[in-house]
Amino acid sequence: MYSLRSGARAMLLSPLRLSQLLLVPKISLSSSIPLSFPSQNTPAGHSPFSNSSLPSTSTPRRQSLVFSISSPSRGVASMADETVTYLSQKEAAEIDEILMGPLGFSVDQLMELAGLSVATAIAEVYKPSEYSRILVICGPGNNGGDGLVAARHLRHFGYEPYICYPKRTAKLLYTGLVTQLESLAIPFLSVDELPKNFSDDFDLIVDAIFGFSFHGSPRPPFDDLIQRLVSLHCIDNVHKRKPAIVSVDIPSGWHVEGGDVDGDGIKPDMLVSLTAPKLCAKNFHGPHHFLGGRFVPPAIRDKFGLKLPPYPGTSMCVRIGKPLSVDISSLRENYVSPELREDQVKADPIDQFQKWFDEAVAAGLREPNAMALSTCGKDGKPTSRIVLLKGVDKEGFVWYTNYGSRKGRDLSENPHASLLFHWNHLNRQVRVEGTVQKVSDEESEKYFHSRPRGSQLGAIVSKQSTTVAGRHVLHEAYMELERKYSDGSLIPKPEYWGGYRLRPNLLEFWQGQQSRLHDRLQYSLREINGSRVWQIERLAP
């Protein structure tokens, strides 16, 4: 990515690195594209990523800049409903020149985005419960800088990173990154301190040695480090798991366009492309290919006709390439959690639920009040769906819905149901069983008018679980109601909408543990001396 120097003797990246954070569609053009941007505070006409000159001015004003882009045809990779293009080294450099010049992106900004993208992609696949010990091997250029940033984020994500940084760069940006890592007590290992067999001490290795502008033959100590990574692919050890290898943008030792030309290069398990995959990525056949970046401004996207993949939620990475083929039977987690003991839990299950729920909220889980509601009508056929908990107290668990829905019909025929809360990131589940009855009209009315007006209108429009001719029918009905109540008048609650309360007679608290020896504590109502009390029992996992 945005490299520092080039040349056969330089063990660094080229001055053009930002293009790793950009995605370019399949186009072939040779034209002058005018771009107007405000000038930056850096010396006019100077870019730290290129030896080329840009038009300059001595005072801040708007500049009209013209860049000549000549793009050969590119290969297209498949992505879930998108196309992804592969960038040549020249194309990556041309995009970087614009981004690093008139758009005013700095090296440290882009390095932070790149490193965060790498760390996020790793966290998507390799969980700290099984891949905690990470060795990050950093080269002397910007690819190495990405590795340093990634290591910092991985530490905050709960991993135990170690750094091998043999040829340190003296520039302030890099010394600052080293200081940040040292302040987090992240160990730096010399080449001599590395174990002979990486499998002995590490679960995952990040290859952040060379980027897309490196050329020539690697020199010591990187030639030996690369060969040691290559050898991991050849080791046949039935007793030890080989460390997973994650390469940053370009697997070190590969030709940026030709790829693993000789066929004996690093075989990474994950490739995190930055900006767009480079041509060499056509030869990547590992199971995990991610794109990182998510920063491209509209001016660049529109001028170049870029087609960017949709990033999920707030993530800095998105999976690209062919959908991963997974052996479902091999999917498993080895949970690491605090023990759940009888002498630690609350005597009342509602109090224990409230404690766990508060912890789920504090952990920042998305919709911790989401619960699976299972019902069964008189036909004996169970159905489940996700609904949202809207209240809990000693009387039970409350949610709201359309009384004419499938669950409403089931509950009218069989007033027994179960709830399931699943808080994945805490390795926790809560099962609740009991009888169900409607809440009072007053409760339903109060909650209905506490909802956003749009939700109130939606509840009227939707005759839940009935057949609809098309989405346009819902939209038209909604817009009609929106016009009807545009004066802000009170929206009446429909009679067919309201709340249910499940009064529990059994709750189970499940905490995932290693080797499937999970903790299961069950609360059940028992009749003792004429009083109903909660009894706690441990169940086999």
CA-to-CA distance for 83 and 24, rounded, in angstroms?
10
Out of 219, 453, 516, 526, the active site residue is 516
Residue 50, marked binder: no
| β-strands 82-85, 370-376 pairing | unpaired
Q: Which residue in the block uniquely carries the two structure tokens 């346009």?
A: 472
Cα angle 460-463-466, degrees, rounded to a multiple of 5: 170
Residue 236, marked binder: no
Residue 441, marked binder: no
Residue 529, marked binder: no
Residue 207, marked binder: yes
- Please count the CA atoms within 13 angstroms of the CA of 521 that sit on its side-chain side: 19
Residue 397, marked binder: no
Residue 486, marked binder: no
CA-to-CA distance for 77 and 71, rounded, in angstroms?
17
| Alpha carbon distances (Å) from 516 to 127, 381, 430 | 17, 30, 17
Residue 211, marked binder: yes
Residue 145, marked binder: yes
Residues facing residue 83 across a β-bridge: 78
CA-to-CA distance for 398 and 376, rounded, in angstroms?
18
Spatial strand order of the sheet with 244-248 comes to 160-164, 133-138, 204-208, 244-248, 270-274, 288-292, 317-319
Residue 197, marked binder: no
Residue 214, marked binder: yes
Q: List, as one string, the DSSP characters of 32-98.
A: EEEEEEE--SSPTT-BTTBSS-----SS--EEEEEEEEE-----EEEETTEEEEPBPHHHHHHHHHH
Contact present, 95 and 300 (Cβ < 8 Å):
yes
Q: Which residues contact 216 (CB under 8 A, 6 or more apart)?
A: 7, 8, 9
CA-to-CA distance for 20 and 92, rounded, in angstroms?
7
Let me know how long the chain is.
541
Residue 176, marked binder: no
| β-strands 270-274, 244-248 pairing | parallel
User: Active site includes 241?
Assistant: no
Residue 201, marked binder: no
Residue 146, marked binder: yes
Cα angle 152-157-163, degrees, rounded to a multiple of 5: 35
Residue 215, marked binder: yes
Residues in binding site for (6S)-NADPHX: 142-146, 211-217, 249
Catalytic residues: 516
Residues in binding site: 142-146, 207, 211-217, 249, 252
Residues in binding site for K(+): 143, 207, 252
